[in-house]
């Protein structure tokens, strides 16, 4: 008797889960930095063009592919790709990227996510209370990360403890499955996240002028710093690529997660409206809430030159150095600091559990392993794989994992799936499949966009990267000489991991062929 596949409980549950996968640390940290560093309001022009030409089409493609493959009891890209092009013996191996990418992101993302839980505790207990400069707060962060021993921390003990708590929280949610674990978490976490975000946003918008001697450091100019357009920035290809990259990052498309989530839908479930609802939820969190908190607050306290330095310092410094300093200077700062980091933790955990699901679903679907056993295997393997991110953080391991797993693989995977969907499966057949059970029609122009514009846009991004950065990246031109052995070992580890996953796909399909031949012989 065939094992019953899991399913979502409600349409709201799947929308909250996909939105939870998309809404992560990047919405509140990466987006404001990208916008402020790439022309302010002008950045939003290529951002929204990328949303309409890449983000929304890929969201519909992945929802449709996932639902279609789920009908054949496949919940991950190798099986789903195989159902789309049965004549190809090799297409399933391209689908390995859809397991490999999320797995690589999970093994460093979980550690960073644990920082947010730790800092919410530190805010509430006053651990960093009294630190009034960027330098002291930076030293606090480095001590917590184990990068230096100082008067705040003497080792990795506290950091590792919060990593263990966060890792176990992730594994527990995944253990209880799609409906009992992930959906239940997202139905609670997502409303809380929006409540916390709106509270902090309203607090920032009501700050007034923190320093009367600098009246120009006000909310209006703070919002203007982010939203006033520098149209000259649009002449830079870098800005367009940054905008496209942000859309990939923020919507979690091109990873393989949405394919897996959508595989638990039934044939009649609407993917058009559900996909659009998930996109809209994510964009509200990113553009409205994320764009109204960090940069405006930093501008009011540190001024235009200070906020430029903040933007150049990157997302980590913004979240774990600048924002705690700001909350230290407002009334009830401990409370606002606590809910800020809880907001980031909720955004993080709803994303990280989604990153785990493709690997777990692969073991369940292709090897017929029970969920408890699949989660146990996943937990042991990923716990071991997480260790280099923790103990070799200063050696560039996280940056390397983030690039190959969280940037390059996204674009590569999205290119494969778009061409497979529109050209191999066929656009007419794909268009019919998108609208099966749909309560609304996709504008007909998207038929042209999905077939021609989206794949060309993706190929341009890949081609431009190879032309501009491919050789320097492969040759480790920007990697310090002392870190190169660790970075090289990390790359070798990634290649080995990919080959192991490819071998498991080979074993799974060989096992299926033998089972089919055995049934045929018995008949």
Chain segment 186-198, per-residue pLDDT in tens: 999 999 999 999 9
User: 80 pLDDT exceeds 60?
Assistant: yes
Domain that holds residue 326: 11-522
pTM exceeding the 0.75 threshold for the entire prediction:
yes
Mark 396-425 as b/e (b = at least 16 C-beta within 10 Å).
Answer: bbbbbbbebbbbbbbbbbbbbbbbbbbeeb
Whether the Cβ atoms of residue 68 and residue 433 lie closer than 8 Å to each other: yes
CATH number at residue 261: 1.20.1740
Burial (CB < 10 A; 0-12, 13-18, 19+), residue 471, is exposed
Q: How far apart are CA 227 and CA 172, in angstroms?
A: 41
Give the pLDDT confidence of 250-265 residue by residue, as tens digits.
888 888 999 999 999 9
* Span 383-425, pLDDT tens digits: 999 999 999 999 999 989 988 988 888 888 999 999 999 999 9
Residue matched to tokens 């790359």 = 491
Which residue did the predictor score with more confidence, 373 or 207? 373
Asked whether 42 and 239 are in contact (CB, 8 A), the reply is yes
Within 8 A by CB and 6+ apart from 326, the residues are 297, 298, 301
230: left (phi over 0), alpha (psi -120 to 50) or beta: beta
Average of pLDDT values for 359-367?
Answer: 95
- pLDDT-derived band at 92 (thresholds 50, 70, 90) equals very high
Joined together, the tokens standing for residue 481 give 């000489």
Report how far residue 306's alpha carbon sits from residue 229's, in angstroms, rounded to the nearest whole number: 19
Q: Which of 104-118, 127-141, 153-167, 445-459 has the lowest mean pLDDT?
A: 127-141
Residue 84: inside a domain, yes or no? yes
Whose CA is closest to 27, among 190, 175, 240?
190
CA distances in angstroms from 373 to 196, 360, 369, 377, 521, listed in the order given: 36, 9, 7, 6, 31
2 part of a folded domain:
no
Q: How far apart are CA 505 and CA 509, in angstroms?
A: 6
100 neighbors 501 (Cβ within 8 angstroms): yes
Nearest by Cα to 140 from 149, 77, 162, 71: 149
d(CA 517, CA 521): 6
Higher pLDDT, 160 or 468: 160
Q: How far apart are CA 496 and CA 494, in angstroms?
A: 5
Looking at the domain assignment, is residue 4 inside a domain? no
Q: What is the pLDDT of residues 109-133, one digit of tens each?
A: 999 999 999 999 999 999 999 898 8
pLDDT score at 246: 87
347 domain-assigned: yes
Q: Which residues contact 382 (CB under 8 A, 6 or more apart)?
A: 103, 106, 107, 110, 356
Report which of residues 467 and 201 the model is more confident about.
201
Residue with tokens 């979690």: 252
At residue 291, the pLDDT reads 87
pLDDT at 83: 93
Quick one: pLDDT band at residue 1, thresholds 50, 70, 90?
very low
Provide the 8-state DSSP code for 106. H
Q: How many domains does the chain have?
A: 1
Express as a percent the part of the chain with pLDDT over 90: 61
Please say whether the beta carbons of 232 and 41 come within 8 A: no
The answer to whether residue 57 sits within a structural domain is yes
Assigned domain for 442 exists: yes
Q: Are 15 and 274 in contact (CB under 8 A)?
A: yes
Buried b (16+ CB within 10 A) or exposed e, 196-205: bbeebbebbe
d(CA 358, CA 510): 20
Does the structure show a pLDDT above 80 at 310?
A: no
248 domain-assigned: yes
Q: What is the distance between the alpha carbons of residues 482 and 471, in angstroms, rounded to a whole number?
A: 20
Question: Does the pLDDT value for residue 523 go beyond 60?
Answer: no
Give residue 519's pLDDT. Answer: 64
SS3 428: helix
* Average pLDDT over all residues of the chain: 90
Residue 237 has pLDDT above 80, yes or no: no
Domain for residue 3, yes or no?
A: no
């Amino acid at each position: 008797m065939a094992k019953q596949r899991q399913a979502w409980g409600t349409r709201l549950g799947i929308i909250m889960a996909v939105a939870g996968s998309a809404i992560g640390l990047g919405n509140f940290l990466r987006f404001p930095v990208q916008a402020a560093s790439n022309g302010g309001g002008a950045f939003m022009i290529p951002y929204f063009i990328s949303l309409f030409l890449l983000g929304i089409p890929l969201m519909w493609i992945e929802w449709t592919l996932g639902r279609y493959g789920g009908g054949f009891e496949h919940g991950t890209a190798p099986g789903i790709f195989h159902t789309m092009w049965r004549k190809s013996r090799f297409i399933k191996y391209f689908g390995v990227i859809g397991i490999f990418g999320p797995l690589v992101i999970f093994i460093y993302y979980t550690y960073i996510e644990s920082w947010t839980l730790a800092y919410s505790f530190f805010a509430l207990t006053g651990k960093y209370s009294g630190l009034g400069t960027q330098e002291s707060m930076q030293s606090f962060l480095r001590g917590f990360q184990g990068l230096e021993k100082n008067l705040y921390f003497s080792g990795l003990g506290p950091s590792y403890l919060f990593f263990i708590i966060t890792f176990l929280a992730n594994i527990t949610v995944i253990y209880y499955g799609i409906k009992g674990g992930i959906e239940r978490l997202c139905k609670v976490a997502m409303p809380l996240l929006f409540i916390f975000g709106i509270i902090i946003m309203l607090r920032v918008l009501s700050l007034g002028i923190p320093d009367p001697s600098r009246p120009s450091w006000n909310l209006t100019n703070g919002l203007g710093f982010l939203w006033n357009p520098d149209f000259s920035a649009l002449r830079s290809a870098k800005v367009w690529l940054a905008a496209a990259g942000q859309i990939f990052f923020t919507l979690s498309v091109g990873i393989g997660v949405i394919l897996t989530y959508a595989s638990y839908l039934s044939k009649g479930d609407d993917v058009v409206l559900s996909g659009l609802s998930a996109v809209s939820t994510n964009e509200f969190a990113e553009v409205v809430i994320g764009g109204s908190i960090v940069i405006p607050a930093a501008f009011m306290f540190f001024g235009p030159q200070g906020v430029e330095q903040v933007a150049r310092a990157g997302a980590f410094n913004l979240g774990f150095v600048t924002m705690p300093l700001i909350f230290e200077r407002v009334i009830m700062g401990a409370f606002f600091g606590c809910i800020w980091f809880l907001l980031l933790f909720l955004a993080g955990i709803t994303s990280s559990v989604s990153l785990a699901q493709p690997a777990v679903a692969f073991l369940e679907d292709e090897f017929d392993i029970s969920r408890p056993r699949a989660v146990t295997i996943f937990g042991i393997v990923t716990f071991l794989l997480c260790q280099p991110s923790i103990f070799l953080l200063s050696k560039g391991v996280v940056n390397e994992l983030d690039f190959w797993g969280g940037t390059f693989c996204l674009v590569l995977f999205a290119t494969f799936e778009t061409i497979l969907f529109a050209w191999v499966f066929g656009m007419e057949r794909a268009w019919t499949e998108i609208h099966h059970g749909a309560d609304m029609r996709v504008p007909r122009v998207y038929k042209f966009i999905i077939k021609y514009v989206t794949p060309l846009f993706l190929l341009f991004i890949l081609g431009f990267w190879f032309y501009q950065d491919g050789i320097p990246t492969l040759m480790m031109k920007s990697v310090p000489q002392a870190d190169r052995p660790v970075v090289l070992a990390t790359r070798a580890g990634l290649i080995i991991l990919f080959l192991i996953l490819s071998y498991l796909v080979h074993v799974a399909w060989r096992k299926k062929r033998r089972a089919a031949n055995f049934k045929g012989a018995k008949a």
